[in-house]
Structure 1
């Protein structure tokens, strides 16, 4: 059972709240429609239930709020708008990444693609999918964890009748197996046709809370739709004949030359128009929505029969539930994998609950990195640029060999490998904000220390591999072009390797943390460029001077302070790392990464919603 109690959004400026004291229930085993016009607060209400929108009130999913649920993906499946994935990712890659985020087996992705009818499009890019295919993929993503409750925001908007029928058949099958389904819509006829229970809101407040039968009886009335250039004259004629025959007929003038006649039929309206020579452009039977809107009644039916005339039924106000907000959990039976009588199969149930593990965010980050062609394109561009620059720099014998192998001319603030590592780090968070995949899956992946450590580890390994690949390829290319004797291996290669690795990892982390703090890829790239352009000159003024002391003997002094004894070969690596940090660029990287880490932790830990 889903219980929303007292949901009230935070108002903006002088405007009223989009959701104002909204209380309703969505029962298990039924499909509930949240009905309201555009701007009535339906989407805001769903986001408040998922703790993605600030405000007051609480939502219980089988007696527990979302932030108290250990495995949210097993309890709530969400579809808010279109599929928020990177357009270069495949359907299978998108679902495998979400499987890693939710802690479910990767094989679940293929099973869900079969369920929603996308098995033949598993390698199709998200940017090439049609609206119907996107909606199918979004529904597959919401069902990955075999959730008990489904929250869908306008799932049928823009779909064809065939896709619409398939969608609601699947939702009906989910509800028939004990699940709870809540979806939003602005079509009253669709709500009456597809839902078991209809909750109507207007202006963010509850208007009616009814079952589908009562809703159809009180809100949907048969009428005759008439379009004529003589709307006022025909309205007067229909009202006059109704009074003469002592029948209750209500004529409502809508926009343009359109009339809606309640209490009559097409034959009577057509005969009246024919007898009086009124031109008709449209005459059709409809089922109208009698939602409280400003309408103008041109001809009420007075007379002796007025007391017994069927007037529009007022919408009953729904009172908040009086029972305790902590009902016992509703046991949901396992869904069988066979097709439901409505025509749509349910996904196979998960037998074992996912276990929280530090590898879960690491799996997600690896799927995110390898699921798009951007890292491969970036690495290829870095390699080509490095080889070209190294070949030109090696022509001059005055260029130091480390600068040649790193392809770092004096005109560039950073070598191509460091810039590429910084770009990959910036895309690690930047792509998630440009093409979010977890915004609606509250709590599926730890958005704090777990995900941060996974991203730092993956970007560090990526930066090290890129740096190693660039050095090896540059050395091989130079030996091929100029010969092996002209390009010898430097004797102090351990110190050079330590500095090269620290520079690449530092740039990657600076781009990652800046993109995470400012939620933009360009912010990460700007932070990487600011290290040599802005921070390093300031650090150089502080470090270079007559009072600077040498760090010689640091490993020996550390050995005296520590209880553990490390090999003497490690002294060279430790001294090399210390010299790298003592350089202006190294100091600038340490300062930038430290400041950005503190900023990320400060901004991330303050958020209540675990998205």
Structure 2
């Protein structure tokens, strides 16, 4: 059961709120349609329920607010817009990545692909899916955690009749199993048809306010009426004649001229009567058909003033005031509003007569962050393509550097000429790190679970660990590819193991890891991949010259013996061979590039924490 109480969106620039004191209930085992014209506040109401927008009010999902649900994906499945996935990712890869985020087995992805009719299209790219397939994949994403409640925003928009019927059937099947379904629509006939086979409700809103809350049978009786659709080049004359004859016969007939001057909607008559009238007066008719029309509020109708926070019934129960028809036509056609009672909850009131404030609360981080990050990274061909470019470019540059014999062997193996600010491996590692956050802000993978991927500590550590591992792997592959290309072109005499191989290995790994982390943190701060790449290139272009220009004073003391003193402080004691690694790391940090990279990472970490604390980025 879903209970929405006093939902009121925040005002922006003095404008009236998009949602104003909206209170209604969507029961279990029921398909509930939230009906309203475009701009009536349907999407804003859903975002308030999911705590994505600030405002007032509270929404209970089986008696609990969403921020108090331990695993939201297992309680609420959401479809807001299209599937938010990388266009090159496959449908199966997208679902498996979201399985890691929701903490469910990866086999759940194949089960849902079969459920939504995409079993044979699991390896198809998201960009190549049709609108109907895209909507099926979105529904599969919402069903990953086997939620009790489904919330969908305009799920049939852009679909043909066959796809819409399939989707409505799936929603009815979910409700028949005891689940709760709430979806928005602007079509009254669709609202009545979607819940026709199970107990259903239609909640009508206008200008963000509740107009009516009815079951499907009453909604169809009061809102949907049979009519005759007439199209004629003399529509105005035919309308006048039909109205005059109806008054003379004292019959209740209503004639409405639609936006097109050649089309009429006649209520209270039949095709035979309209056809006979047109024939007697010699008026041509181009269309004459029976239809079911929507007799909602007349154009220009507005709800009467109401208390800002509803009324308080006996025992403190909040009820929603309803709009009343003001014209004879509206009194005959407007739905009867039913107050929503028994929605009060002990934790609902936050003050005298005021609903509690709604704070923007992001979704929890992936429940399996490392698995999620691995699937995100290797689920697209971009990662493989970047690594392949780094290997090919490094192999070619190393062959060119070894021709004159003046470049040191470590620079040859790293493919780092003096003309480049960084070797290709470091630049590509920084690009992969920048894509870790940049891709998610561009294609938010967890939007199906209430919003952009949050930057929690567990997810950040997973990204740092995975990007570091990929950077080290890339550094090793580049050295092996360079050595293989040198051996193939010049023979094996050129390759010799240098005496300080340990220090070189540490510095080479540290350079690639540092570039990957710089790109990752910068993309996380500025929410764009280009910022991460710019931060990587800023290390040799800006930071290294700055470090080299710093005044150098004569050294009065030395750090000789630091590894031994550290061994005395650490328990358990590390082996003596570790001293060489510590000294190698100290030499890397003392190098201008190492110092510049350390300073850049320090600044980016501080900026990351500062923007998170200030709330500029969801935490």
State the TM-score, normalized to the length of structure 2.
0.88
Alignment of 1:268 onto 2:273: yes
Where does residue 601 of structure 2 map in the other structure? 593
Supply the distance in 1 between the matched residues of 2:285 and 2:22 (Cα, whole angstroms).
44
In the alignment, structure 1 residue 312 sits paired with structure 2 residue 332 = yes
CA distance in 2, matches of 1:80, 1:566: 54
**Residue number in structure 2 paired with 1:532:** 540
Question: Would the alpha carbon gap of residues 544 and 126 (structure 1) be closer, same or farther in structure 2, given more than 3 Å must change?
Answer: farther
Whole-angstrom distance in 2 between the partners of 1:265 and 1:517:
66
Offset at residue 236 of structure 1 (A) = 1.2
Give the Cα separation in 1 of the matches to 2:605 and 2:412: 33
2:142 match: 142
| Shift, 1:554, TM fit | 2.7
Match of 1:484 in 2: 492
Where does residue 11 of structure 1 map in the other structure?
11
2 CA distance for matches of 1:573 and 1:526? 31
TM-aligned CA distance change 1:607 to 1:101, over 3 Å: farther
User: Per the alignment, in what secondary structure is the counterpart of residue 46 of structure 1?
Assistant: helix
Please give the secondary structure, in 1, of the residue aligned with 2:447. Answer: coil
Q: SS of the counterpart of 2:550?
A: helix
| Structure 2 SS opposite 1:14 | coil
3-state DSSP class of the match of 2:494?
coil
Is 1:223 aligned with 2:227? yes
Q: Hey, what's the Cα distance between the residues in 2 that align with 1:430 and 1:132?
A: 28
* 8 A Cα contact 1:35 1:185, kept in partner: yes
Describe the shift of the 1:606–1:193 C-alpha distance in structure 2 as closer, same or farther (beyond 3 A). farther
Residue 288 (str. 1) matches residue 293 (str. 2)? yes
CA distance in 2, matches of 1:310, 1:598: 61
**592-601 or 207-216: bigger deviation:** 592-601
The aligned residue for residue 382 of structure 1 is 390
**Secondary structure at the counterpart of residue 542 of structure 1:** coil
Asked if 2 retains the 8 angstrom alpha-carbon contact of 1:64 and 1:326, the reply is: no
Q: How many pairs does the alignment contain?
A: 573
| Aligned pairs for 1:408-423 within 5 A | 408-423=416-431
Task: From the superposition, tell whether residues 169 and 358 of structure 1 become closer, same or farther in structure 2 (CA, over 3 Å).
Answer: closer
SS in 2 for 1:321: coil
Shift, 1:309, TM fit = 10
Alignment of 1:470-509 (within 5 A): 470-509=478-517
- Shift in alpha-carbon separation, 1:131–1:323, aligned structure 2, 3 A: closer
| Alignment correspondent of 1:255 | 259
Taking the aligned partners of 1:16 and 1:205, their CA distance within structure 2 comes to 12
State how 1:202-601 maps to structure 2 within 5 Å. 202-257=206-261, 258-294=263-299, 312-325=332-345, 360-442=368-450, 447-542=455-550, 544-546=552-554, 550-562=558-570, 564-601=572-609
Counterparts of 1:120 and 1:255, CA distance in 2: 45
- Give the equivalent residue in structure 2 for 1:343: none
The CA deviation at 1:567 is 2.0
Relative distance call for 1:550 and 1:397 in structure 2 (3 A) is farther
Change (3 A) 1:602 1:3: farther
What does 1:188-207 correspond to in 2, within 5 Å? 188-195=188-195, 196-207=200-211
Alignment check: 8 A CA contact 2:27 2:180 kept: yes
Runs of 5+ in structure 2 lacking a partner? Answer: 302-327, 348-363
Given that 2:141 and 2:448 are in contact with CA atoms closer than 8 Å, whether structure 1 keeps it comes out as no
- Distance in 2 (CA, whole Å) between partners of 1:358 and 1:201 is 35
Using the TM superposition, give the Cα deviation of residue 490 of structure 1 relative to its aligned residue in structure 2, in angstroms: 1.4
Map Cα deviations across residues 178-231 of structure 1 (whole Å, 9 max, x no partner): 100001111100001112101111222221111111111121111112222222
Q: Relative to 1, partners in 2 of residues 1:292 and 1:442: Cα closer, same or farther, differing over 3 Å?
A: same
Contact 2:154/2:185 (CA < 8 Å) preserved in 1? yes
TM-superposed deviation, 1:315: 3.4
Q: Secondary structure at the match of 1:315?
A: coil
| Contact 2:431–2:532 (8 Å) recurs in 1 | yes
2: CA distance, partners of 1:310 / 1:67: 41
In 1: Cα distance, 2:522 partner to 2:606 partner: 11
TM-fit CA distance, 1:120: 0.9
Distance 1:587 1:187 in 2: 63
Which runs of 5 or more residues in structure 1 are unaligned? 297-307, 328-355
Match of 1:300 in 2: none
Q: Residues of 2 paired with 1:132 and 1:495: CA distance?
A: 57
Q: Secondary structure at the match of 2:17?
A: coil
Instruction: Measure, in 2, the Cα distance between the counterparts of 1:549 and 1:289.
Output: 88
Tell me how far 1:425 sits from its aligned partner. 0.6
Aligned to 1:485, the other structure's residue is in SS state: helix
The offset of 1:543, in angstroms, is 6.5
**Conserved in 1, the CA contact under 8 Å of 2:296 and 2:334?**
no
Counterpart of 1:338? none
Q: Note closer, same or farther for the CA distance 1:357–1:274 as it changes in structure 2 (3 Å cut).
A: closer
Alpha carbons of structure 1 residues 144 and 275: separation in structure 2 relative to 1, 3 Å: same
Of the structure 1 ranges 315-324 and 448-457, higher mean CA displacement relative to structure 2 is found in 315-324
- The structure-2 alpha-carbon separation of the partners of 1:549 and 1:380, relative to structure 1 and needing over 3 Å to count, comes to farther
Q: Matched residues in 2 for 1:369 and 1:548: separation?
A: 48
The 8 Å contact of residues 426 and 515 in structure 2, kept in 1 or not, is answered as: yes
Change in 2 beyond 3 A, CA 1:243/1:310: farther
Note if contact 1:200-1:208 (Cα within 8 Å) is conserved in structure 2. yes
Change (3 A) 1:486 1:73: same
C-alpha change, 1:54 and 1:253, in structure 2 (3 Å) is same
Residue in structure 1 matched with residue 323 of structure 2 by the alignment: none
**CA gap 1:453/1:233 in 2 versus in 1, 3 angstroms:** same
- What's the Cα RMSD here? 2.5
Cα deviation for residue 321 of structure 1 reads: 3.1
The CA distance in 1 between the partners of 2:48 and 2:155, in whole Å, is 18
Q: Conserved in 2, the CA contact under 8 Å of 1:3 and 1:25?
A: yes
Instruction: Give the structure 2 partner of residue 104 of structure 1.
Output: 104
The structure-2 alpha-carbon separation of the partners of 1:200 and 1:294, relative to structure 1 and needing over 3 Å to count, comes to same
Normalized against structure 1, the TM-score is what? Answer: 0.89
